[in-house]
Amino acid sequence: MGIVSINKDFGAPKYKQIVSSIEEAISNGIIKKGDRLPSINSIRDKHGVSRDTVLSAFNDLKSRGVVQSVAGKGYFVSSEAIHVKQKVFLLFDELNAFKEDLYSSFLNVLGDNIQVDIFFHHFNYKLFSKLIYDNIGDYSYYVIMPANLKDTYQVIRNLPSDKVCILDQMHQELEGYTAIYQDFENDIFNNLKKGLDLIKKYNRLIFVFSEDKQPPGMLLGFLNFVKQFKFEYEIIDSARNRVPESGEVYIIPDDRNLIRIIKSNKQTKLKLGRDFGIISYNDTMLKEIVEGGITAISTDFNKMGEQLAELVTNKEYVQIKNPNDLIIRKSL
């Protein structure tokens, strides 16, 4: 295989494709400072392009100080400092408050010369698939939050696997990819266990769980917990029209349901954190002060954003479990 490749990217001019394939070879360490580039004529013959096309590519690199030419000898790499402008494809499920932290810490750690484009699939497989197919080859890195969509591997495998990072929810079929994920099953189990003493004040756990939005691991972890510690429990998919009763603890991943419960409790005389409890999911600033503080099981979205930025810049192959913690406040 040669260093240069042309016609991977249909839209780009040929000379730019030559430039970027050489830049890539340098950044991957295939060619190093002092190495000779293939001659102009050899590239012309091998790829069937005009001599001028190769020349304009080399001139581009030369004007930027990446290569130097020596008459009668050839072109040589003179600097490995290529400022490849990176573009990152960031595919979220939906827009919501706690992505603010993730996104802004991601951008802060990334440099200014990296462009990030955001997309949302809204839990719609066809849209998910279209967004990825339409953008194959256009980005230097793909960050994908598959949420609980199934069969995403069928789409994702069309991307270069060294340029993909799976975010938040991990699926078996995607095991081979770089990922920053939450281990929902163990996290909810361990964090409930961590709050066991406080939960024991109550006698009944209500999990507000929607199959469409929440990951299945959450449910499994919850069920493990109630079985192991022999709690009475109930699973409901919405808190609409639900009025809390004494001795109940609500575990609420979705903020709309959180508000429903708190508002409907205004009718009762129950005191939150004494007569009934709430454990929320995904911490946001406002939860620090709502009703004196809402207890939350939450991953550290700032940390997730920072680590993601490091992955994008360093292109390591790793699977990172993002830390998750129980933040105890007055609602429990």
Examine residue 10 and tell whether it contacts its own copies (CB under 8 A).
yes
What is the DSSP secondary-structure string of 227-288? HHTT-EEEEES--TT----TTEEEEE-SHHHHHHHHHHGGGS-PPBTTTBEEEEES--GGGG
Which of 73, 85, 126, 266 touches DNA by CB under 7 A? 73
- Regarding 203 and contact with its own copies (CB under 8 A), the answer is no
Going by the DSSP 8-state scheme, the letter that residue 324 receives in this structure is: E
- Exposed/middle/buried for 74, CB within 10 Å: 0-12, 13-18, 19+? middle
Closest CA to 150 of 124, 182, 189, 118: 124
How many Å apart are CA 39 and CA 305, to the nearest integer? 43
β-bridge partners, 181: 168, 321
Q: What minimum distance in Å lies between the beta carbon of 172 and DNA?
A: 24
CB of 119 to its own copies, least distance (A): 7
Piece of the chain touching its own copies by CB under 8 A; list 17-25, 49-57, 64-72, 158-166: 64-72
The kind and range of the H/E element at 307 are helix 301-314
Distance between first and last Cα of the chain: 62
120 near its own copies (CB under 8 A): yes
Please give the Cα distance from 68 to 75 (Å, whole number). 6
Give the three-state DSSP class for 208.
Answer: strand
> Residue 96 interacts with its own copies (CB under 8 A)?
yes
Contact 326, 195 (CB under 8 A): yes
Is residue 72 close enough to count as binding DNA by CB under 7 A?
yes
Q: In angstroms, rounded to a whole number, what is the distance separating the alpha carbons of residues 267 and 155?
A: 49
14 scored as a contact of DNA (CB under 7 A): yes
Which of 13, 65, 176, 323 touches DNA (CB under 7 A)?
Answer: 13
CA distance 243 to 209: 16
Per partner kind, with CB cut-offs from 5 to 8 A, the member of DNA, its own copies, none near residue 40 is DNA
Strand, helix or coil for residue 180 = strand
**2, 30, 50, 133: which one binds its own copies (CB under 8 A):** 133
Among 5, 56, 78, 186, binds its own copies (CB under 8 A): 78
Residue 49: CB minimum distance to DNA, A: 4
List the single partner that 171 binds among DNA, its own copies, none, CB under 5 to 8 Å by kind.
none
329 lies in the binding site for its own copies (CB under 8 A):
no
Cβ of residue 155: shortest distance to DNA, in angstroms?
A: 14
Instruction: Rule CB under 8 A: say whether 254 interacts with its own copies.
Output: no
Q: Which does 100 bind (CB under 5 to 8 A by kind): its own copies, DNA, none?
A: its own copies
Binders of its own copies among residues 283 to 302 (CB under 8 A) are 284-291
Decide which of DNA, its own copies, none touches 56; Cβ closer than 5 to 8 Å per partner kind. Answer: DNA
Residues that bind DNA (CB under 7 A): 13-16, 37, 39-42, 48-53, 55-56, 58, 69-75, 136-137
